[in-house]
Amino acid sequence: MTTHTVLDAIATGNPPLRRSQEEAAAFMQRIDSLPRPLRNRLPALYNRSAIDYRYTCVEDYARDEAAEFDFFPKDWSLQPAPSTAARNQKYRDAVLPLAERVARAALDQSSAAPGDITHVVAVSCTGFFAPGLDIELVKRLDLPPTTQRTFIGFMGCYAAFNALRVAHSFCQSDPDARVLVVCAELCTLHFQTNGSLEEVVVNSLFSDGAAAAVLSSQSASEAHGELAYADSRAQLDDDSMDAMTWDIGDTGFLMGLSSRVPDVIAEHLPRYLDGLLRPHGLSDRDMDFWAIHPGGRAIVEKARDVMALDEAAVRDSLEVLRLHGNMSSPTILFVLKRILDQHRAAQADGSSSLEHGVAMAFGPGLTIEGALFRRVGI
């Protein structure tokens, strides 16, 4: 019997502290250990980001006086910088309630009760501990102790697709599979202030957030009309290993981000999409929606231009970027949630629902990861 991997529900969330991009730039301008020429460039860099708001688990970013800091030293130099151990402890304290909250919300929205969950796939690259996030979710959500667990770590912005691929494999091998995927990242814990332009750009883009999805194995009759995960594809560019990097340092995790990234992605996208769609007798002209990871404004715009998409096709991606910034792995699920909500709304009012769509993200490697979704029964 043919079974489908149905995208049952997606829930998203952020830490409570939201800062406007202007407020974030103003905070960074006060860091007197940054060279003055860089501090002078901050407002323009932040203004060009197409981001209005970002979220953080670091309360110091909302404090006006250094004497009130409790994460950073009580000095506007922010030196000595918090150690990797201190940042990882903050990660553990903040990530657990956030991941639990979005996971509960996804379960509440889905057709699965906690006791129905057969697999948990947890994703994060901004902190580590053991027993890990996967075990904590099983215990906090009162999932069965037999729940099978997978942890996907240190893969960056495209990691949600590795999680979805794993979930799809579970759903295709077990007709009773109900898989909970949770992506949680606290990128702002690792902002660096050592004085490079690359660091300033990274600090202007990244944000904190989490998203959870429930995927379920369903028969054709059960899944009729639903959006289902149909296929996936990965493509690695062998000439850009150093264009995006993520390393562990003594004062947090250190990101390398080349300005070449949008151009490298755009160069490989047409071949990538052909390889994903052609086996299904489809082309990019058949797609009703595009969920493009908004790693930055230039990435979305380059992808839009190389695929000759109109503004409406990238609106959801740019809105997520505007309202949340780049949250690494959960970001694409924020975009997919908007699309799933549109699909369900169209079904509810009897209008034309979505039939085919592509979601994709980009990360260290450089790697393009993505998936094809299609409505069951077309």
Q: What's the rounded Cα separation, in Å, for the pair 359 and 161?
A: 9
* Res. 340 pLDDT band, cuts 50 70 90: very high
Q: What's the rounded Cα separation, in Å, for the pair 87 and 286?
A: 45
Q: What is the pLDDT of residue 224?
A: 94
Give the Cα-Cα-Cα angle 127, 85, 20 (nearest 5 degrees).
Answer: 60
Q: What's the rounded Cα separation, in Å, for the pair 159 and 63?
A: 33
Can you say whether the dihedral through the CA atoms of 58, 61, 63, 67 is positive or negative?
Answer: positive
Mean pLDDT over 186-210 rounds to: 95
* Of 233, 235, 237, 117, residue with least CA distance to 165: 233
**CA 103, chain centre distance (Å):** 15
Q: What is the pLDDT of residue 111?
A: 86
Q: Tell how strand 208-219 and strand 252-257 pair up.
A: unpaired
Q: What's the rounded Cα separation, in Å, for the pair 144 and 176?
A: 14
Tell whether the model's pLDDT for residue 154 goes beyond 90.
Answer: yes
Q: Is 234 helix (H, G, I), strand (E, B) or coil?
A: strand
Query: In the chain, which ranges are E strands?
Result: 3-13, 17-20, 53-56, 119-124, 148-153, 178-186, 208-219, 227-236, 244-249, 252-257, 289-292, 356-363, 367-375
Domains and CATH numbers, the chain: 227-375 (3.40.47.10)
Determine what percent of the chain is predicted with pLDDT higher than 90: 94
* Res. 237 pLDDT band, cuts 50 70 90: confident
* Of 318, 259, 312, residue with least CA distance to 292: 318
Mean pLDDT over 200-214 rounds to: 97
* Res. 352 pLDDT band, cuts 50 70 90: confident
β partners of residue 367: 236, 363
φ, ψ for residue 326 (rounded to 5)? -90, 115
How does the average pLDDT of the chain come out, rounded?
96
Q: What's the rounded Cα separation, in Å, for the pair 126 and 154?
A: 7
A 10 A CB-CB count for 215 gives 29
Q: What's the rounded Cα separation, in Å, for the pair 213 and 298?
A: 28
Active site residues: 157
Q: Tell how strand 289-292 and strand 356-363 pair up.
A: parallel
DSSP symbol at 305: H
Q: What is the largest CA-CA distance in the chain?
A: 66
Mean pLDDT over 100-128 rounds to: 97
pTM for the full predicted model: 0.97
Q: What is the pLDDT of residue 239?
A: 83
**CA 136, chain centre distance (Å):** 20
Q: What is the pLDDT of residues 311-334, one digit of tens each?
A: 999 999 999 999 999 999 999 999
Tell whether the model's pLDDT for residue 1 goes beyond 80.
Answer: no
Q: Tell how strand 208-219 and strand 178-186 pair up.
A: antiparallel
Q: What is the pLDDT of residues 281-320, one digit of tens each?
A: 999 999 999 999 999 999 999 999 999 999 999 999 999 9
Give per-residue burial for 66-84: e unless 16+ CB within 10 Å, then b. beebebbeeebebeebbeb
A 10 A CB-CB count for 282 gives 18
* Res. 222 pLDDT band, cuts 50 70 90: very high
φ, ψ for residue 306 (rounded to 5)? -70, -25
Q: And the tokens for 314?
A: 């990238």
Tell whether the model's pLDDT for residue 350 goes beyond 90.
Answer: no
Give the total residue count for the chain.
Answer: 378
Tell whether the model's pLDDT for residue 378 goes beyond 90.
Answer: no
* Res. 39 pLDDT band, cuts 50 70 90: very high
